[in-house]
């Protein structure tokens, strides 16, 4: 039986951000993730494991840093190692402090990868600022996932992550697993093009409900269309909670015109392979 993995859940939603008002997200989630309640919903929906993001953003352009430290997330990972894994959110402008933070999160606390929201920091993902971060991820053998596509609604942030810009890093770091968050909307053609062009580029389909995915993106997952040889192996599903909840998002994903093999990959099997997760059959 195929396993289901929610690869993207925010540990502590930063409701100070205007984004939450724009999207109409319930601010009762401000208290953050309740692990036991999350596991209960996972169990109701057959979800084996969830990826928790120690998220880091700025409160508007050049605003206050709003950071969830990995030490806040670690107790949950330690208590439920078979249900949760961690993403180490970073400030890309932190220099050596950021590199040391990544190393500790991965080598001492067991975080599975690095996570960044580029638009909040004003530096494009193909700027040399990121090259030491990419190199550190290569050294540690962990993936980096980054929000690509337009900046968050009404954030005032700068467009810093067109999906095509991920290709500069993919070319210079062929052994690094690079993952585009949020599908690259509204530039999903660019995102799938980057994944087609580079073996080390993958996609997380989170934040945007499956019912809103473009036909092009659905066809990519289903591996339909010219020159689409591995689309069903390249995309991972996530909710980006509290933006979506598991029950509704899974229901919408299953309603799409996607063959079962591709759906199994999307909902979990791809994540297990790409992120090297230890999940029982």
Tell me how far apart the alpha carbons of residues 231 and 223 are, in angstroms, rounded to a whole number. 5
Assigned token pair, 10: 């925010």
pLDDT in the model for residue 19: 57
Q: Which domains, ranges and CATH numbers included, belong to the chain?
A: 4-274 (3.20.20.140)
Tell me how far apart the alpha carbons of residues 106 and 230 are, in angstroms, rounded to a whole number. 29
φ/ψ bin of 63: left (φ > 0), alpha (ψ from -120 to 50), beta (otherwise): beta
CB 250 within 8 A of CB 45: yes
Tell me how far apart the alpha carbons of residues 268 and 89 are, in angstroms, rounded to a whole number. 22
CB 70 within 8 A of CB 28: no
Q: Which of 173, 130, 172, 175 is nearest to 148 (CA)?
A: 130
Report which DSSP code applies to 151.
P
Tell me how far apart the alpha carbons of residues 278 and 280 are, in angstroms, rounded to a whole number. 7
Give residue for tokens 């079962």: 260
Tell me how far apart the alpha carbons of residues 226 and 235 are, in angstroms, rounded to a whole number. 18
At 195 the three-state DSSP class reads helix
CB 164 within 8 A of CB 195: no
Which residues lie closer than 8 Å to 278 by C-beta, 6 or more apart? none
Report which DSSP code applies to 89.
E
Tell me how far apart the alpha carbons of residues 266 and 253 are, in angstroms, rounded to a whole number. 9
Per-residue pLDDT of the chain (281 residues; tens, 9 = 90+): 789 999 999 998 654 455 566 666 666 655 689 999 999 999 999 999 999 999 887 666 666 777 889 999 999 999 999 999 999 999 999 999 999 999 999 999 999 999 999 998 889 999 999 999 999 999 999 999 999 998 876 667 789 999 999 999 999 999 999 999 999 999 999 999 999 999 999 999 999 999 999 999 999 999 998 889 999 999 999 999 988 999 999 999 999 999 999 999 999 999 999 999 999 87
> pTM above 0.85?
yes
Which residue blocks in the chain are alpha helix, DSSP H?
18-23, 35-45, 70-79, 96-107, 131-140, 166-172, 188-197, 215-221, 246-254, 260-264, 270-274
Assigned token pair, 206: 């989170």
């Amino acid at each position: 039986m195929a396993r289901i993995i929610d690869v993207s859940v925010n540990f502590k939603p930063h409701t100070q951000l205007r984004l939450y008002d724009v999207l109409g997200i319930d601010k009762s989630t401000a208290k953050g993730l309740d692990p036991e309640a999350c596991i209960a919903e996972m169990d109701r929906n057959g979800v084996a494991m969830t990826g928790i993001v120690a998220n880091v953003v700025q409160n508007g352009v050049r605003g206050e840093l709003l950071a969830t430290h990995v030490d806040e997330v670690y107790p949950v990972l330690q208590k439920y190692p078979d249900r949760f894994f961690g993403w180490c959110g970073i400030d890309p402008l932190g220099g050596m402090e950021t590199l040391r933070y990544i190393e500790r999160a991965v080598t001492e606390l067991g975080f599975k990868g690095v996570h960044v929201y580029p638009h909040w920091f004003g530096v494009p993902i193909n700027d040399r600022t990121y090259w030491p971060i990419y190199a550190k991820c290569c050294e540690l053998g962990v993936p980096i996932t980054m929000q690509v596509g337009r900046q968050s609604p009404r954030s005032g942030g700068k467009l810093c992550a067109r999906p095509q810009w991920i290709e500069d890093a993919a070319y210079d770091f062929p052994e690094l697993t690079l993952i585009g968050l949020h599908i690259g909307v509204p530039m999903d053609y660019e995102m799938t093009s980057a994944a087609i062009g580079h073996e080390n580029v993958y996609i997380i389909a989170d934040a945007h409900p499956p019912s809103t995915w473009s036909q092009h993106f659905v066809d990519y997952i289903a591996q339909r269309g010219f020159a689409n040889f591995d689309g069903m192996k390249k995309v991972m599903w996530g909710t980006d909670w509290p933006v979506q909840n598991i029950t509704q998002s899974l229901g919408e994903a299953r309603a799409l015109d996607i063959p079962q093999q591709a759906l199994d990959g999307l909902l979990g099997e791809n994540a297990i392979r790409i992120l090297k997760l230890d999940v029982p059959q």
